[in-house]
Amino acid sequence: MEAAARAGRQLEGRRLLVTGGTRGIGRGIVLAAARAGANVVTCYRTPGPAVASLEQELARTPGKHQVVRADAADAADVGRLLAECDASLGGLDAVVNNAGTFRPKPYADLDDAEWAATLQGNLTAAHLVTRRALPLLSAGSSVINIGTTVAFLGMAGGVHYTAVKAALVGMTRSLARELGPQGIRVNTVSPGRIATEALDELPEEDAERERRVFSSFTALGRLGTVDDIADTVLFLISDHAAYITGQNIHVDGCV
């Protein structure tokens, strides 16, 4: 909510697709964009209370919003999702590739299936959505990929995840060059450790320990918030970022 208040109505009338938008960072982006005046479509894979509560919040927010069940890593689902964006919004002004999956696993235990699933759920999903969205985008549009700071720091148990997130940055840079002549900007936002509801769902003692430990790694001495990421995404979508493309923006408090 703070992000939307700071943004005012800077996205008035913009049409957005945010993948994986019912929890965590994705949910924060969806709500901030809607409150900033955008019409937002988002998607989810698994029904649950988070889906229902998001639908309720969006119903109370002015604009045309939809929450669609679709897997961003499935080509058929992506086709249906983008067809829905076209039918309901008549096009798109921004795509935020937020959906992703990660299951920590030591490299010695990393089997081919887990590697393939991580590639599909993070990198291929962004590719499928972006390629299918191209006919709906025009000059002034923006594509934002959600990466991670740990792709550049490294992480034990996360070789598969950091590898595909690093590849996402290369994809961003090349897409920015290819789509730039059409007036379409492409950037990556790489969050550091962000306090989401997943942290709140841990036992209180474990959650407090994580907050303390990860806060100590940052120059600012705190965890990031969902609003910290949403603010950056909304800025990149807005006209204020009209000359910013091909960039990987770390939002991590300086780790």
pLDDT in tens, the chain (255 residues): 565 555 567 899 999 999 999 999 999 999 999 999 999 999 999 999 999 999 999 999 999 999 999 999 999 999 999 999 999 999 999 999 999 999 999 999 999 999 999 999 999 999 999 999 999 999 999 999 999 999 999 999 999 999 999 999 999 999 999 999 999 999 999 999 999 888 778 788 877 888 888 898 899 999 999 999 999 999 999 999 999 999 999 999 999
Give the pLDDT of residue 202: 78
The sign one gets for the Cα dihedral 150, 151, 153, 158 is positive
Structure tokens at 205: 């003692």
Give the pLDDT of residue 2: 64
- The domains found in the chain, sorted by start residue, are 2-251 (3.40.50.720)
The answer to whether residues 226 and 220 touch, using CB atoms and an 8 Å cutoff, is no
State the catalytic residues: 161
Q: How far apart are CA 209 and CA 224, in angstroms?
A: 15
Give the pLDDT of residue 197: 81
Give the pLDDT of residue 6: 59
CA dihedral 20, 25, 30, 34 (to 10 degrees): 180
Q: How far apart are CA 125 and CA 164, in angstroms?
A: 11
Give the pLDDT of residue 7: 54
